[in-house]
Chain A
Amino acid sequence: MNLYITRVILKYEPMRNLALAFASALACVISSWAAPAASLYAHAAIEPGVSEEILYSALPFVSGSASIGAGLGPFAMEIGAMYQGPSAYSDEWYRYRGFVALFAALGPRIRYDRVTAFADIGLALARYDASYSYFILPYFEPGALIAASRLDERSALYLRASVPLRFGADSWTAGLRLGVEFDYGIAARGGESK
């Protein structure tokens, strides 16, 4: 990555402006009422997984997350928040610290019958519990949605399962993210939503 660009654009510009820009992009998608197969969704999930720092052991953790997003045609983008609890302790009495994070992700969604496959790439900005240490976690999250219940003409419930892989600079985590997604179609489409 170009460090100059990182410094100039991302360090000295107030970060909330960038967040606003991202939110604006999301709003643009949301406001695309005339677009085919546009939808809004809200998602809540829990995620058991394992975390490992380089040279140390893999340890289990549990996290929870919630997000909102918008789908437009074959793509979806979402923003959300998560909390990853501290991991279990190792035999040497260490564990991986818990953290809270904000994340944003983007990726394709491909529907086949009642199943929708997706593969998001995202970026999380996290802060460790009990201190002011902030860090970045890029991630890749392949997964699938299965239609569970159609609530009315526009809205439906989906079961969502995914495998987020987060790549910290000094550690990685992998989990099984299981949750429920509420989907609201904002543009006409044939058949079931999504």
Chain B
Amino acid sequence: MTPSHPSGTRAASRARSKISIFAIAVSAVVLAFAVACGMPSPPARHALLYGISIYDVGYPEGTYINLTYTDDDASAMASALSAKGWTVKLGLADTQVAADSQDATRAAIEADIAELAGTDGLVLFYYSGHGTRDAYTGTSYILPYGSIATAADRISADELRAMFEAAGLSHVIAILDSCYSGGFVQAGVTVDGVPDIFGANDPGGDIAYTAFIDALGDALEAYVSYGADSRYVFISAAGSEELSWESSSSGHGIFTSAALNAFDDSSADSDNDGYVSTAELYAYCVKAIVASWNSYKEDDLDYYSDGQYADFYPHLSGVAREYALWEAP
């Protein structure tokens, strides 16, 4: 005769069975989700890249109002993106600006964006050149070739977004390596902890929230006052009141130099999913700028600005989406 189990043992056995069945069900559901997470084949990817080093053809690069490496920035980004499968269109205003039919003017940029109308794939807009900010309205602008002489040819954030909207583009990434470019970046439903003028010695100070919970009030305000901001993803080299810099040691803008390194550095894919996303690129550039520039420049007074120091910090839009840019090396 088989002895009966004590009731406690039977209860424990039933409990174990319940928990096991529950655990199996949970695992099955998670596995099903994991299977659904495979990477789709690449969509159509178009990149428009503009680099303006020459604003006044009467002067060589790096003198008067002309920049030195911004044309090289756009060219290098175009090569790197092309190697990763992007279809690229490059507009330069460099020493050959007259011969190149001024393909980095506002009109050229507008026409290039309009040409992409109907594209349902991914569009990347890259700009390296001067930027400016209207101190009265707080509006930031990028300055295509010709726009220093003709202010109406500057492009504001609203105007750039309107160009994308007019072309019916839904999936746009804009990367701007220019001064005051943070004015193009909308926090959306979020509150951005990176101040507009970043720096230990600057008015904005360091990252705004030292404790996670300190962001609660501002985040609540952002939630209740949210008014359907732009759906495009913008990455700016600097804040809306900051300068962005270029360096002879890299031969590029500080931000763009970091971005170019991300193409060949597997650590840019921080979540190890095999792809570098917009947020990962942003984080990679931040890390590089903090290490290679800000750590040396936070005490350097910037004589071009109104008492700011030369450190700066990139900004990223607060939209919920991020885009895969390229396969990690």
Contact across chains for B212 and A102 when beta carbons are under 8 A apart: yes
Q: A134 is contacted by which of B34, B42, B190 (Cβ under 8 Å)?
A: B190
Distance between Cα atoms of A85 and B39 in the complex (Å): 15
| Cβ proximity bits A19-62 to B, threshold 8 Å, 1 near / 0 not | 10000000000000000000000000010100101011000111
Within 8 Å of chain B (Cβ to Cβ): is A96?
A: yes
Within 8 Å of chain A (Cβ to Cβ): is B64?
A: no
Q: A97 is contacted by which of B15, B170, B192, B320 (Cβ under 8 Å)?
A: B320
Contact across chains for A102 and B30 when beta carbons are under 8 A apart: no
Contact across chains for A86 and B321 when beta carbons are under 8 A apart: no
| Cβ proximity bits B196-232 to A, threshold 8 Å, 1 near / 0 not | 0000000000011101111111111111111010010
Distance between Cα atoms of A131 and B316 in the complex (Å): 7
A145 to chain B, nearest CB (A): 12
Interface size class of B (residues with CB under 8 A): 35 or more
- Please judge, given known A-B contacts A92-B122, A170-B319, whether A129 and B19 are in contact too, CB under 8 Å: no
Query: In chain A between 71 and 113, which residues have their CB closer than 8 angstroms to a CB of chain B?
Result: 86, 88-98, 102
Distance between Cα atoms of A51 and B228 in the complex (Å): 18
Contact across chains for A133 and B193 when beta carbons are under 8 A apart: yes
B285 to chain A, nearest CB (A): 11
Contact across chains for A129 and B226 when beta carbons are under 8 A apart: no
Contact across chains for B223 and A93 when beta carbons are under 8 A apart: no
Contacts of B189 in A (CB 8 A): 135-136, 168-170
Beyond the given A60-B37, A170-B320, please list 10 additional residue pairs across the A-B interface where CB-CB is below 8 A: A3-B225, A6-B224, A9-B217, A11-B218, A12-B217, A60-B33, A88-B37, A94-B324, A131-B282, A134-B219
Interface stretch of the complex, out of B21-29, B137-145, B252-260, B289-297: B21-29
Main SS at interface, chain B: mixed
Interface size class of A (residues with CB under 8 A): 35 or more
Distance between Cα atoms of A170 and B224 in the complex (Å): 11
A43 to chain B, nearest CB (A): 14
Q: 26 A-B contacts, Cβ less than 8 Å apart?
A: A3-B221, A6-B217, A7-B221, A11-B221, A12-B217, A13-B217, A15-B215, A48-B32, A56-B231, A62-B33, A89-B275, A89-B324, A93-B43, A94-B322, A102-B212, A102-B213, A130-B316, A132-B208, A134-B191, A135-B318, A136-B189, A149-B18, A150-B11, A157-B19, A176-B29, A178-B29
A180 to chain B, nearest CB (A): 7
Contacts of B318 in A (CB 8 A): 128, 133, 135
| Cβ proximity bits A150-190 to B, threshold 8 Å, 1 near / 0 not | 10000001010000000011110000101010000000000
Contact across chains for B320 and A159 when beta carbons are under 8 A apart: no
Cβ-closest chain B residue relative to A100 = B212
Contact across chains for B213 and A169 when beta carbons are under 8 A apart: no
A35 to chain B, nearest CB (A): 28
| Chain A to chain B: the 8 pairs with minimum beta-carbon distance, closest first | A132-B193, A149-B15, A10-B217, A11-B217, A134-B215, A88-B37, A133-B190, A130-B283
Within 8 Å of chain A (Cβ to Cβ): is B40?
A: yes
Residues of A participating in the B interface, judged by any CB pair closer than 8 Å: 1, 3, 6-7, 9-16, 18-19, 46, 48, 51, 53, 55-56, 60-62, 86, 88-98, 102, 125, 127-136, 146, 148-150, 157, 159, 168-171, 176, 178, 180
Cβ-closest chain B residue relative to A161 = B22
Contact across chains for B280 and A135 when beta carbons are under 8 A apart: no
B209 to chain A, nearest CB (A): 7
A146 to chain B, nearest CB (A): 8
Within 8 Å of chain A (Cβ to Cβ): is B279?
A: yes
| Cβ proximity bits B276-313 to A, threshold 8 Å, 1 near / 0 not | 01011011000000000000000000000000000000
A192 to chain B, nearest CB (A): 12
Contact across chains for A131 and B283 when beta carbons are under 8 A apart: yes
Contacts of B322 in A (CB 8 A): 86, 94-97
- Please judge, given known A-B contacts A132-B193, A135-B189, whether A86 and B271 are in contact too, CB under 8 Å: yes
Cβ-closest chain B residue relative to A52 = B320
Distance between Cα atoms of A128 and B321 in the complex (Å): 10
Within 8 Å of chain A (Cβ to Cβ): is B251?
A: no
